[in-house]
């Protein structure tokens, strides 16, 4: 079933910048950074608030409500981006003078995604003057209409791709609207909220709201912006790298909300060395666990809490939920692999459908997205995993994960256009999307999805590739190089963490934790011996007696009992014997 990726080397996208170490110059050139100035991630280089269409109008609307002491209800989303955006909205609005501001986050299992008419009915009981959506709303045409019919004004802040019909909100704030002139459409939902708060502060300052007092420093909450941005896996263009870098600096200095400090503690991460990978793979999943299994309100409350002890208690609850999520995921993944094996998949053959749809009765609705991602990694195909909805077993909810080159929301748009009425609601990004579907139409959708992927994907898109930054000389296999690379981040989507390739001799190997392979390697020149690990290793890559292999690897710092040492993190292994 698994398809071993091909290792290819990156080519420079521009001339290398001068004034940086040669290795960094090579890495930056591979990522389109041509000047030393582009590596400056200070806040003065952030794209201006005035460039984001809709921010000024949203600021006026919020400023009027603050001056009128109106009620503002923030409607969030049940993932880490939505949770951080909700916490940022409440902290920021309260600091800027809003006295009556609360939040409502839909329960995934009761209401589904976004501002639905059913959620508006719940919101009406809180009697808001304004509903402010964060990380959702651009597809909530019916929900916005229901709010407006109830005489509730609506300010939509979102970053998801809009559909053919836009909601008739009072203000739409989304850098991905067709006519928005903002130079970057890559802001996460929490990034859009940060920009709105900056515009609101400017509007209130212009109205003399702060008098002789200092206006609140919004940068104090860049820790929330960094966590939500990385966890949502949006492209780290320069603007997002500035937001993440500045947030990480504050976290490392301990200048973060107690909830983030607590999440780092339960994840076993030290604040002083926290990096973007820790946000994405340690803190983010624990925050997401609340929305996947229960109610994201727990995650939001953790981020809003100012009492360190209480924040730690909630972070421990989130950690327990994450452990439960991993157990559910492991069982579902095993079942999903059996389904794929039943489709006739064989290693190295292209007999799988172009797009896979997976469903097993009893699958957990909050975990199907992770399972889709895990299977996508193995078969390098767009994958949708479905689960029955809690209150209506005749309706399936699917979570899609795609591959580079295949825009999964465009695929769903194509299916909807060719097969009217087949799909319910859907929306998302290039790499991830959600949808609903009548259960009795699953076979029809499966065929339509496969056909749409086949139409929109190129043959080369379906061949897994890992892109290497080339070889490292033996002397660069060092702790100093690993620390240099860590400091040169943040790394993430579309600004990937450096990956290298080379041939190594296997000196020792052993299994640790039942699933992971620990190795001692020597470089091909015989000059350097290094430790390495491959998580969830594939036995076929390590035949008995193997002495030489080609590896694609990252440099990492292994910290153990106060000692720090270089460790290679193996991404791909290809036996050479």
Percentage with pLDDT > 90 across the chain = 82
Segment 247-282, tens digit of pLDDT: 999 999 999 999 999 999 999 999 999 999 999 999
- Measured CA to CA, the distance from residue 528 to residue 520 in angstroms comes to 11
On the question of pLDDT at 348 being above 60, the answer is no
Strands 71-75 and 130-134: parallel
- Report the CATH number of the 47-319 domain: 3.90.1640.30
Helix (H, G, I), strand (E, B) or coil at 248: helix
Contact at 8 Å (CB) between 481 and 23?
Answer: yes
Higher pLDDT, 544 or 301: 301
Segment 53-70, tens digit of pLDDT: 999 999 999 999 999 999
Q: What's the Cα-to-Cα distance from 67 to each of 99, 103, 251, 547, rounded to whole Å?
A: 10, 20, 33, 73
Contact at 8 Å (CB) between 484 and 535?
Answer: no
- Residue 289's pLDDT band, with cuts at 50, 70 and 90, is very high
On the question of pLDDT at 349 being above 50, the answer is no
Segment 160-218, tens digit of pLDDT: 988 889 999 999 999 999 988 899 999 999 999 999 999 999 999 999 999 888 999 99
Segment 88-128, tens digit of pLDDT: 999 999 999 999 999 998 876 666 678 999 999 999 999 99
The pTM assigned to this predicted structure is 0.91
pLDDT on residue 347: 40
pLDDT on residue 572: 93
pLDDT on residue 426: 86
- Report the CATH number of the 343-463 domain: 3.10.310.30
Beta bridge partners of 501: 552
Higher pLDDT, 392 or 375: 375
Name which of 15-19, 76-80, 228-232, 421-425 the model is least confident about: 421-425
pLDDT on residue 281: 95
Query: How high is the mean pLDDT of the chain?
Result: 93
Number of other CB atoms surrounding residue 346 within 10 Å: 11
On the question of pLDDT at 365 being above 80, the answer is yes
pLDDT on residue 515: 84
Taking domain 466-575, whether its CATH number is 2.40.50.460 is answered by: yes
Alpha carbon dihedral 471, 477, 479, 483, in 10-degree steps, equals -10
What residues contact 156, with CB distance under 8 A and at least 6 apart? 133, 137, 138, 140, 144, 167, 169, 171, 172, 173, 174
Q: What is the CA radius of gyration of the chain?
A: 24
pLDDT on residue 161: 86
Dihedrals phi, psi of 560, to nearest 5 degrees = -150, 120
Domain boundaries, the chain: 47-319, 343-463, 466-575
Q: Which conformational region is residue 526 in: left (phi greater than 0), alpha (psi within -120 to 50 degrees), or beta?
A: left
Segment 516-544, tens digit of pLDDT: 999 999 999 899 999 999 998 888 888 88
Contact at 8 Å (CB) between 4 and 551?
Answer: no
On the question of pLDDT at 1 being above 60, the answer is no
pLDDT on residue 345: 44
What residues contact 413, with CB distance under 8 A and at least 6 apart? none
pLDDT on residue 390: 79
pLDDT on residue 344: 60
Contact at 8 Å (CB) between 538 and 2?
Answer: yes
């Amino acid at each position: 079933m698994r398809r071993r990726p091909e290792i290819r080397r990156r080519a420079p996208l521009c001339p290398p910048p001068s004034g940086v170490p040669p290795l960094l110059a090579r890495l930056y050139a591979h990522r389109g950074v041509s000047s030393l100035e582009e590596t400056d991630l200070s806040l003065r280089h952030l794209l201006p608030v005035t460039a984001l269409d809709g921010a000024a109008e949203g600021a006026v609307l919020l400023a009027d409500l603050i001056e009128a002491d109106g009620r503002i209800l923030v409607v969030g989303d049940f993932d880490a981006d939505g949770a951080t955006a909700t916490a940022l909205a409440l902290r920021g609005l309260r600091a800027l003078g809003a006295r009556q501001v609360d939040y409502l986050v839909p329960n995934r299992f009761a209401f589904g995604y976004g501002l639905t008419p059913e959620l508006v009915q719940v919101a009406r009981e809180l009697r808001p003057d304004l509903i402010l959506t964060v990380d959702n709303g651009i597809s909530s045409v019916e929900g916005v209409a229901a709010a407006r019919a109830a005489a509730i004004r609506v300010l939509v802040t979102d970053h998801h791709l809009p559909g053919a019909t836009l909601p008739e909100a009072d203000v739409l704030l989304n850098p991905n609207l067709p006519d928005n002139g903002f130079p970057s459409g890559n802001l996460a939902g929490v990034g859009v909220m940060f920009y709105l708060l900056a515009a609101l502060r400017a509007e209130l300052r212009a109205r003399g709201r702060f008098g002789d007092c200092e206006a609140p420093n919004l940068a104090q909450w860049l820790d929330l912006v960094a966590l939500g941005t990385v966890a949502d896996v949006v492209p780290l263009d320069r603007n997002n790298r500035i937001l993440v870098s500045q947030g990480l600096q504050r976290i490392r200095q301990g200048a973060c909300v107690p909830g983030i400090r607590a999440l780092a503690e339960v994840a076993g991460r030290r604040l002083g060395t926290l990096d973007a990978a820790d946000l994405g793979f340690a803190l983010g999943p624990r925050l997401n666990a609340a929305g996947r299994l229960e109610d994201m309100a727990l995650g939001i409350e953790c981020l809003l809490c100012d009492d360190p002890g209480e924040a730690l208690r909630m972070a421990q609850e989130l950690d327990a939920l994450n452990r439960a999520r991993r157990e559910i995921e492991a069982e579902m993944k095993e079942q999903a692999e059996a389904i794929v094996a039943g489709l006739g998949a064989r290693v190295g053959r292209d007999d799988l459908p172009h797009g896979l749809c997976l469903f097993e009765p009893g699958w957990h609705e909050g975990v199907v997205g992770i399972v889709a991602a895990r299977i996508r990694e193995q078969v390098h195909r767009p994958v949708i995993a479905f689960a029955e909805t809690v209150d209506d077993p005749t309706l399936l909810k699917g979570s899609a994960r795609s591959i580079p080159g295949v825009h999964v929301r465009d695929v769903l748009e194509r299916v909807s256009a060719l097969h009217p009425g087949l799909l319910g609601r859907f929306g998302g990004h290039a790499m991830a999307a959600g949808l609903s579907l009548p259960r009795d139409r699953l076979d029809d959708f499966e065929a339509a999805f496969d056909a749409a992927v086949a139409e929109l994907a190129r043959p080369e898109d379906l061949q897994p590739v890992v892109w290497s930054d080339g070889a490292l000389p033996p002397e660069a296999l060092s702790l100093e190089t690993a620390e240099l690379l860590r400091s040169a981040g943040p790394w993430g989507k579309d600004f990937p963490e450096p990956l290298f390739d080379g041939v190594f001799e296997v000196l020792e190997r052993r299994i640790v934790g039942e699933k992971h392979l620990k190795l001692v390697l020597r470089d091909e020149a015989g000059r350097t011996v290094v430790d390495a690990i491959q998580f969830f290793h594939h036995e076929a890559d390590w035949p008995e007696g193997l002495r030489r292999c080609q590896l694609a690897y990252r440099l990492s710092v292994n910290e153990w009992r106060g000692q720090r040492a270089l460790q290679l993190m193996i991404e791909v292994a290809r036996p050479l014997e």
